[in-house]
Structure formats: structure tokens, C-alpha cells
A and B are shown apart, each in its own frame.
Chain A
Amino acid sequence: DTAVSQTPKYLVTQMGNDKSIKCEQNLGHDTMYWYKQDSKKFLKIMFSYNNKELIINETVPNRFSPKSPDKAHLNLHINSLELGDSAVYFCASSQGGGGYTFGSGTRLTVV
């Protein structure tokens, strides 16, 4: 069983579209995260949820809206996609402030 799973793995879409990326973890962790990795491999935190409550929101455009229906799921919805949104998006989870377990990533390409 995959611990942190993201779908889709690849997403190609046109500018202006709205898209969602889903994430699920089966580790029983209480905190989930979204990170963005740019073309230089730099990983930057976007959001963090603890037990469905938003606890970290890093100066991310409000076109990005995370949603956590329960503590095992954290989805990312992006409105009005722009070319600069092209990146790899990683979901992660952790328990008690320990090390994070990452998903395998979603490569988003906006054309």
C-alpha cells in the first residue's frame, strides 16, 4: 500500500483552466502539506493542515485553495492556471512534528 498517494501523476492543461490534485495518506498522520518544486529543484512549502485545520499558508496566490475533508485527505485546487504554475507539486504528511513522508509528486504543465 502506498503511504502517501497523489493523483494525477501528470497533468497538462491550458492557461486559464481550473484543476485539482488529490492526496491521500494511510499512515494515520495528523498533519498534511503541499510543497511546490520548481525547475531548479527548490522545494517550497505552500500549505499545511492539522486535523483538517489550516495552520500554514505561505504567501501563495489565492488562486490556490487547499481543502481537507478529513485528516487523511488534502486536495489542492488551482483556479485560472498560469504558465508560472508549471512545477511538480508534492503532498506530504507527518505525525507529531517528525519527519515528513512524501508522495511521488504531480507534474503540472500549463501550456
Chain B
Amino acid sequence: GESVGLHLPTLSVQEGDNSIINCAYSNSASDYFIWYKQESGKGPQFIIDIRSNMDKRQGQRVTVLLNKTVKHLSLQIAATQPGDSAVYFCAERLGGGKLIFGQGTELSVKP
């Protein structure tokens, strides 16, 4: 659905701390989920994905957790760095390959 907030949700963390960004998705039939990172002036970039038959997937410094019971997705970033500052989007894939994006969370890393 459409974004309903007036402001983008923000998360501010200290450099070196771990970050957790949460996302609620809407369709219980979605079979594939992706996290994207969007830096200022750029397009969204793929970070990590997870299929609905999994509940956890790890990448380099990032972990995605999927809880299908409550339709919740989270992205954990270990040892957050200034270069991680960006807007993060979760996306769910519906039937036919259509990717629906969540609202986005702005991560700000303080040095």
C-alpha cells in the first residue's frame, strides 16, 4: 500500500554499534524478500535476500531474519560504519514477480 507517514522513519546509531532495521510486509503469499540500500542520489542497491522457506540468512556484516507468523522482516548490520548511512528498504515479491517496496528507514551513523 501507499506510505502513510509524513516523515521517513529514522534510526541513528553510533559507529561500531549494531543496527537493526525492521519491516512489516503485507502479503502472506509473498515468497521472496529483499533488502535494498539507497544512498543519496543513487538507485536502490541489493544487499541481501531471503526466500520464504528460510528464517535467517547471513551475508558479510548483514543478517536478515524472517518471521512469517507475524509477517516481519529485519535487517541486522554488524559494526555499523559511516558508509552504511543510507535509506534501507525491504521488498516483498508477489505473484508474477512484482516487487513491492516498504516505506524505507533512514539510517544515520554518528562517528
Contacts and interface: CB of A to CB of B under 8 A. Distances in A.
Classify chain A's interface size.
20 to 34
A61 interface: no
A42 B3 contact: yes
Interface stretch (B15-23, B52-60, B69-77, B89-97): B89-97
B42 interface: yes
A45 interface: yes
A56 B98 contact: yes
A103 B85 CA distance: 20
Given A40-B8, A41-B8, A97 B43 contact: no
Contact of A42 (B45, B93, B96, B103): B103
Contacts of A56: 96, 98
A102 B98 contact: no
A102 B43 contact: yes
Given A42-B103, A105-B42, A99 B98 contact: no
B43 A90 contact: yes
Interface of B: 2-3, 5-8, 32, 34, 36, 38, 41-46, 49, 87, 89, 93, 96-101, 103-104
11 contacts: A35-B101, A40-B7, A41-B104, A42-B3, A44-B101, A45-B99, A92-B43, A100-B46, A101-B46, A102-B44, A104-B42
